[in-house]
Amino acid sequence: MTAVVHQPLSACPACAAVPAAQAVADVAQPEAQIALSLPTIHCAACISKVETGLNAHPGVISARVNLTLKRASIEAEPDVTAQEMADFVESLGYEAHELDPGTLSSTATDKMGRELLMRLAVAGFASMNVMLLSVAVWSGAEDATRDLFHWISAAIALPAIAFAGQPFFRNAWGALRHGRLNMDVPITLAILLAVGTSLWETTLSGDHAYFDAALTLTFFLLAGRYLDHRTRAVARSAAEELTALEVPRATRVRDGVEQQVALADLSVGDSILVRPGGRMPVDGEITQGMSELDRSLLTGETLPVQAAPGQLVSAGEVNLTGPLIIRANAVGKDTSLHQMADLVAIAESGRSRYTSLADKAAKLYAPGVHILSALAFVGWYLATFDLRTALNIAAAVLIITCPCALGLAVPAVTTAASGRLFRRGMLIKHETAIERLAQVDTVVFDKTGTLTTGTPVLINAEAIPEDKLAIAMALAQGSSHPLARAIVQAGQATGANPEQVHDITEVPGFGTQATLKGQEIRLGRASWTGGQAGEHTTTFLRIGEDAPVAFEFTDQLRAGAAEAVSALKKAGHTVYLMSGDTTPAVQSLANRLGITHWLAEALPADKSTRIQAMTEKGAHVLMVGDGLNDTAALSAAHVSISPASALDAARVASDIVLLGGDLAPIAEACTTARSATRRIRENFRIATVYNVIAVPLAVAGLATPLIAALAMSFSSITVSLNALRLR
Amino acid sequence: MNILAYLIPISLCLGGAGLAFFVYTVRSNQYDDPEGDARRILSDDYDERPKS
């Protein structure tokens, strides 16, 4: 999860109070709807603690916790801000992050899912009642009783199918109108023909009516649809939550007054204050301040670059050391962040259109069934010249072959597989992602932020005398610079205590300085401390006029990175490393992980063309990346994964999101995907076997409604059970 | 067989009542937070009186 960056307080309280009051006046609305993400709640006590706490808070009208989504929705007085609420919940002892309600609105009411559930319930109710009546007919009800039961069945089935079958009818009509065939066309035809002939039989007081079959079919197929929908809804809501965690705000400075505004309200020429730790909201030019910028998400460079007035910055870069004031050159859709979308669009058009297994099956199946049923009709008509018998047989063939099991074959497996992967921290965003992941033979990793965390660690702590480390810790303590934090961490690990130093000042863009026993001490860049930069990322400590002490850093490996790479190689995949970082940095990482194919200093376009070239050679590429420079590559690859810490653009472009910080699940996911695809194929085979047994019976005119009902239920149940075997 | 004249309407009415209750539970958002609702029943916050 993304950590909330707490912004430092302003130096003068009055300056802060004025814009704060103004900001409140600006957002004044009748009632504020606030959504908070509470990732750590897990029990009944958590719910009641958060709810009673929030409800007792003045300004809160009502609050409700949703444990399934791990979210709290608060209805509050207009003057209550989301930040206040998040801080309040944190004071209760739970981690809380603000969510952008605008992004979440679509999940609030899941209308589609509710509609499907309603249709499923109606179909279930009707099929159970009709089945009860049918059991009486199968066990020997005759004459008037049978006719009565058939009429009652018809009275239940007709309205139920008219309501519950709508999704199939709509899809089938849509496909037919464009001159195509999909799975819904034979389904619709089977349902309509079954109901039609049954009605006709009933009016003639015939023996066989297929109302139960038509309804059970609708029920099973709707169950498949609902499973499918649930899987996707869960993934969508989790993906939306990741986006909603990034509330788009910026601090605009106008006539010396700071004001928090929404990104949408910024315009070109505005002055924007970006505090240390903040991300550039727009493209622009630095007008005031000195600092360093972390551009790793955009370019893959690990080393911070120096920032001074006059320099151009682009949206997405992170400001590290000193406050910067930038003048916006491009806002909203014009920023470089959004222009990257063009590159993505080009890459997407190059991606080979993947046909899902279900579509492939439908393409084979739909015409086959229609031809078979038509042949049965023609054959029987020519043999007997009895339209009624011929129509009955045709309907029986359609019902028996109807893809009840086929309709469940894919959703049952994908639901089981997505659930399994979700518990391991992987969010499957795209419906065919699992099938595509199963085909992967080449894996391309990005470096910064993907294989490495993007945070440096001190590697030569043993070589540094303890007193020097203590001094460096004292200097580093107050800074939010990643290298400074690495020094503090390393110092704490060795048990060193920071030295007492005076007059600590941060010199943005260079380092930190202070005085110790009358001597000036500096910790910072080579050029500023008189050090010699080496192969690694290095910072220097200079005490007085002594020779500077080097602190060397390397990028920390992400948890599970080594395991993931070795497991993928063991599974026979070719592993590549492509990064925008410098050659020595990429080379040392490739050596550390045992990756033989690597590419350094790659531009975003390089990455995607490389992947396209591999695809043309017949490889199925899995791209794992997080940065803006990976976005095009992510869309060009056969299937793509990005960590949750990635930029929004990268997460949107990828098919799977890794929710935890660990990379190890990637290798397991490939295995799971492969066994899921195997199960899908098995399910298709099971369904075919049932058809092979039942179709001759139907064509021979031996398929009674009882046989149809049995074949249908058994094949659906076997297919669902087979899906649950997934490991 | 005259008993059927009573039994069939009765069974349909019972089934219909079940369906109606299910529709009511869907409409009143009772499936939005299955995990939370399963735990809420264990909390004794509203044992004395319902939530006002």
Tens digits of residue pLDDT in A165-196: 999 999 889 888 988 777 788 888 888 988 99
Contact yes or no for B42 and A66 at CB 8 A: no
- The answer to whether A511 and A524 have CB atoms below 8 angstroms apart is yes
Cβ contact (<8 Å) for B39 and A43? yes
Element (H, E) at B15: helix B4-27
DSSP per-residue string spanning A198-227: HHHHHHTT-S---HHHHHHHHHHHHHHHHH
Percent of chain A with pLDDT over 90: 5
pLDDT reading at A385 higher than 60: yes
b/e per residue A193-229 (b: at least 16 CB within 10 A): bbbebbbbbbeeebebbbbbbbbbbbbbbbbbbbbbb
Quote the pLDDT of residue A316: 75
Planar angle of CA A509, A513, A519, nearest 5 degrees? 150
Q: Is the pLDDT of residue A3 over 50?
A: no
Min mean pLDDT across A81-90, A525-534, A671-680 is at A525-534
| CB-nearest partner of B32 from A66, A118, A122 | A66
Residue A147, strand partner residues: none
Closest CB from A44, A68, A152 relative to B43: A44
Residue A30 confidence (pLDDT): 54
Cβ contact A556:A453 at 8 Å: yes
**CA-based Rg of chain A, rounded to a whole angstrom?**
32
The pLDDT tens digits of the residues spanning B13-41 come to 998 999 999 989 988 878 878 888 888 88
The shortest C-alpha distance from A673 to chain B (Å) reads 28
Query: CB neighbours of A371 closer than 8 A, spacing ≥ 6?
Result: none
How far, in Å, are A429, A472, A489, A562, A593 from residue A661 at the CA level? 18, 29, 19, 13, 18
Q: Does residue A514 carry a pLDDT above 60?
A: yes
**Band of pLDDT at residue A293, cut at 50, 70 and 90:** confident
What pLDDT is attached to residue A714? Answer: 84
Q: What are the residue ranges spanned by the domains of chain A? A: 424-452+558-674, 454-557
Closest approach of chain B CAs to the CA of A63, in angstroms?
Answer: 12
pLDDT bin (cut points 50, 70, 90) of residue A251 is confident
| CB-based contact B36 A47, cutoff 8 Å | yes
Q: Which of A117, A149, A151, A153 is the best mutation test for B, with the most CBs of B within 10 A?
A: A117
Q: Are strands A71-76 and A249-254 parallel, antiparallel or unpaired?
A: unpaired
- CB proximity B1 to A under 8 Å: yes
Q: How far from the centroid of its chain's Cα atoms is residue A555's Cα?
A: 26
Cβ separation B11–A67 shorter than 8 A: no
| Contact in structure between A302 and A581 (CB atoms under 8 Å) | yes
The residue in chain B having the minimum alpha-carbon distance to the alpha carbon of residue A115 is: B26
Residue A611, both tokens: 């992947």
Q: Which two tokens stand for residue A168?
A: 């199939």
- Just list the catalytic residues of A: 446
pLDDT of residue A159: 93
The nearest alpha carbon in chain B to A128 belongs to B15
pLDDT for the residue B45: 72
Render pLDDT for A38-66 as a digit per residue (tens, 0 to 9): 878 888 888 888 888 888 888 888 888 88
- Inter-chain CB proximity A128 and B15 less than 8 Å: yes
Which pair of tokens denotes residue A217? 């079919």
Average model confidence (pLDDT) across chain A: 80
Helix (H) or strand (E) run with residue A66 in it: strand A60-66
Find where tokens 């066309």 sit.
Answer: A185
Q: What is the pLDDT of residue A618?
A: 86
Rounded to an integer, the average pLDDT of A293-309 is 76
Q: Which residue of A has its CA nearest to B37?
A: A67
B4 interfacial to chain A (CB closer than 8 Å):
yes
Domain A454-557: CATH superfamily is Calcium-transporting ATPase, cytoplasmic domain N (3.40.1110.10)
3-state class percentages of chain B: helix first, strand second, coil last, to nearest 5: 60, 0, 40
> Hey, which residues does A260 pair with through a beta bridge?
A251
Q: How far apart (Å, rounded) are the C-alpha atoms in residues A166 and A643?
A: 39
> Looking at the predicted structure, is the pLDDT value of residue A606 above 70?
yes
Residue A15: per-residue pLDDT: 41
- Distance between CA A617 and CA A440 in Å, rounded? 14
Band of pLDDT at residue A338, cut at 50, 70 and 90 = low
Residues in chain A with CB shorter than 8 Å from the CB of B11 are 129, 132
Q: How far apart are the C-alpha atoms of A623 and A577, rounded to whole Å?
A: 10
Distance separating alpha carbons of residues A449 and A422, to the nearest angstrom = 21
Provide the pLDDT for residue A6: 40
Per residue in A637-677, pLDDT (tens digit) is 888 898 887 777 777 778 888 877 788 888 888 989 999 99
Q: Higher pLDDT residue, A12 or A32? A: A32
Residue pLDDT, tens place only, A403-415: 677 778 888 888 8
Angle at CA of residue A150, ends A134 and A144, nearest 5°: 105
Interface contact A69-B45, CB threshold 8 A: no
Interface pTM, i.e. ipTM: 0.85
Tell me the nearest-neighbour CA distance from A128 into chain B, angstroms.
Answer: 9
A interface test, pick of B2, B6, B8 with most A CB neighbours within 10 Å: B8
pLDDT band at A534 (very low <50, low <70, confident <90, very high): low
Categorize the per-residue pLDDT at A378 as very low, low, confident or very high, splitting at 50, 70 and 90: very high
Residue of B1, B22, B43 with shortest CB distance to A48: B43
What pLDDT, on the 0 to 100 scale, is given for residue A349? 57
Calpha distance A332→A334 (Å, rounded): 6
Residue A486: its pLDDT value, please? 83
User: What pLDDT shows up at residue A102?
Assistant: 65
Q: Residue A719: which of A688, A692, A694, A697 has the closest Cα?
A: A688
Q: What's residue B52's pLDDT?
A: 54
- pLDDT of amino acid A587: 85
Instruction: Give the pLDDT band (50/70/90) at residue A103.
Output: low
Nearest chain B residue to A44 by CA: give it.
Answer: B39
* CATH number at A424-452+558-674: 3.40.50.1000
Q: A216: which residues sit within 8 A by CB, 6+ positions away?
A: A127, A131, A404, A709, A712, A713
Q: How many residues does chain B have?
A: 52
In chain A, what percentage of residues exceed pLDDT 70?
A: 89
Tokens representing A666 are 């990637």
Q: Do B36 and A122 touch (CB under 8 A)?
A: no
Read off the pLDDT band of B42 (50, 70, 90). Answer: confident
CA A315 – CA A263 distance, rounded (Å): 11
- Phi, psi dihedrals of residue A330, rounded to the nearest 5°: -145, 135
CA B4 vs CA A145, A146, A523, B9: distances in Å? 9, 12, 94, 8
Q: What is the pLDDT at residue A391?
A: 85
| More confident of the two residues A28 and A220 | A220
Q: How far is A679 from chain B (nearest CA, A)?
A: 29
> Looking at CA atoms only, how far is residue A105 from chain B in angstroms?
15
Residues forming a β-bridge with A512: A506, A523
| Secondary element (H or E) of residue A673 | helix A665-699
Average pLDDT, stretch A236-242?
72
The mean-pLDDT minimum among A103-117, A418-432, A456-470, A598-612 falls in A103-117
Using a CB-CB cut-off of 8 Å, the residues of chain B touching A117 are 26, 31
- Tell me the per-residue pLDDT of A139-160, one tens digit each, with 9 for 90 and over: 877 788 888 889 999 999 999 9
Q: How far is it, in rounded angstroms, from Cα A372 to Cα A386?
A: 19
- Structure tokens belonging to residue B8: 């069939």
Binning pLDDT at 50, 70 and 90, where does residue A347 land? low
pLDDT reported for residue A344: 61
CA distance B30 to A206: 45
Q: What pLDDT was estimated at residue A157?
A: 93
Q: Is the overall model pTM greater than 0.80, yes or no? A: no
